[in-house]
Amino acid sequence: MKKLLSVLLTLAALSAALCVPAAAEEAKEAPETAPAFVRVWGKVSPWEGKGIYLKNDSGDGSLNEVVVHVGEKTPAVDASTGLPLDLKAVKEGDTLYVWTGPAMALSMPPQVSALTVVGNVPADAAAPEFCEIAGRAVSPAPGGKGSAKLPLTGGGELEVTDKTAYSPWLTKQIVGMDDLVPGTRVLVWKDKDGAAEKVQMLPSVYRGYVTALATMHDVRVAVNGGFDAEWDQETPQFSAKRTESGVMAPIRAIAEAAGYTVSWDKNRGAVVYDENTEVVFYVWPGDNVLWTPELGEMTLSAPCLKEGGTTYLPLEELCRYLNLYLARG
């Protein structure tokens, strides 16, 4: 029990050395006492079970032992080259850095699912940082033309300059600062001043993103865009409703703008389908639950609302079940 308590206290304190990212299933910021994502690192050690067993004897406050499970689509990055790291070639004694969510099996040692793995960090260099973009640039950054600071999920900012180099993941696509849209996950190598020297784009985990803007009369919601003048004509925008329970967003408008199909079923209510005509979820007006194929019935923070022929769900939960990142600000 002493060891288990120590692990839990360590997790609560883990916020250091990270541009703290958000959980894929949650668009809102995590509480300060429970970081949305944490970094663990250590040397690969012998282990008879499944996964990679890391031990850390540095005493820097990180978990000193953890078993990491790496999925088939989890990016594993060579810190020296930015190319894929061959985990099959990783051997005992090699050091790995892993970013994971707060959930872990309370076994001994604790077990986690990796979101990103980084290895082959040069001895004279710092490991890159894992960040998730929370919104568009909030202010110019010092350092020259093209510099900007972007807010990060969980707090903090990422500073990019005209000297920042960008690279895609497993494609030949040309990427740059304009590709740092809300929900984008990246690895960042920083210079001595803390600005991004190199940004490695990681595979997207979201279908898109939603930006909300409160006005005097309602809340405007944009899908895959913002509210700058030059975007007014090309970004789908819709009106959401303010209620005592919070912001309620139109299901059909947002889902269709994100590429889903929505229909009405007399037995199930509003039904959302993906591009393969598979059901994503359905919900009946007045009910405070919706149904998904993977999770079954899920309780909502406010009942589904139907008004004037339009069906609404709480904005945050609609984004969650449509796998859309809800941008900050």
CATH code where residue 315 lies: 3.30.457.10
Q: Are residues 15 and 118 in the same domain?
A: yes
Q: Taking residues 53-69, what's their average pLDDT?
A: 79
pLDDT score for 209: 95
């040397």: which residue's tokens?
A: 43
Backbone phi, then psi, for 186, in 5-degree steps?
-140, 160
Check whether residue 234 and residue 308 sit in a common domain. yes
Side chain identity at residue 205, one-letter code: V
Predicted confidence (pLDDT) at residue 200 exceeds the cutoff of 80: yes
Average pLDDT over residues 22-33: 36
Lowest mean pLDDT among 74-88, 138-152, 154-168: 138-152
What's the pLDDT score for residue 11? 40
Looking at the structure, do residues 10 and 95 belong to the same domain, yes or no? yes
Q: Which of 86, 107, 123 is a domain's end point? A: 123
What's the confidence (pLDDT) of residue 246? Answer: 92
Tokens found for residue 120 = 């082959």
Q: Are residues 119 and 10 in the same domain?
A: yes
Regarding whether 148 and 52 lie in a shared domain, the answer is no
Q: Are residues 235 and 315 in the same domain?
A: yes
Q: What is the mean pLDDT of the chain?
A: 83
What radius of gyration do the chain's Cα atoms show?
Answer: 21
Question: Same domain, yes or no, for 84 and 58?
Answer: yes
Q: Does 174 or 233 have the greater pLDDT score?
A: 174
| Whole-angstrom distance, CA of residue 66 vs CA of residue 98 | 10
What phi, psi does 254 have (nearest 5°)? -70, -40
Residue with the larger pLDDT of the pair 105 and 306: 306
Per-residue pLDDT tens for 99-128? 987 766 677 888 899 999 999 999 888 999
Of 146, 176, 201, the position where a domain reaches its end is 201
d(CA 299, CA 283): 11
Domain termination site, one of 201, 230, 258: 201
Which structure tokens are listed for 291?
Answer: 């149904």
Residue position matching structure tokens 């889902």: 255
Stretch 154-172: mean pLDDT = 90
C-beta separation of 227 from 213 below 8 A? yes
17 and 92, same domain (yes or no)? yes
pLDDT band at 237 (very low <50, low <70, confident <90, very high): confident
User: What local confidence, expressed as pLDDT, does residue 9 receive?
Assistant: 37
Least confident of 17-31, 53-67, 139-153, 312-326: 17-31
pLDDT for 61 = 52
Q: Say which residue, 38 or 273, is predicted with more confidence.
A: 273
Residue 71: domain span: 2-123
- For residues 91 and 65, membership in a common domain is answered with yes
In the predicted model, what is the mean pLDDT of residues 120-142? 83
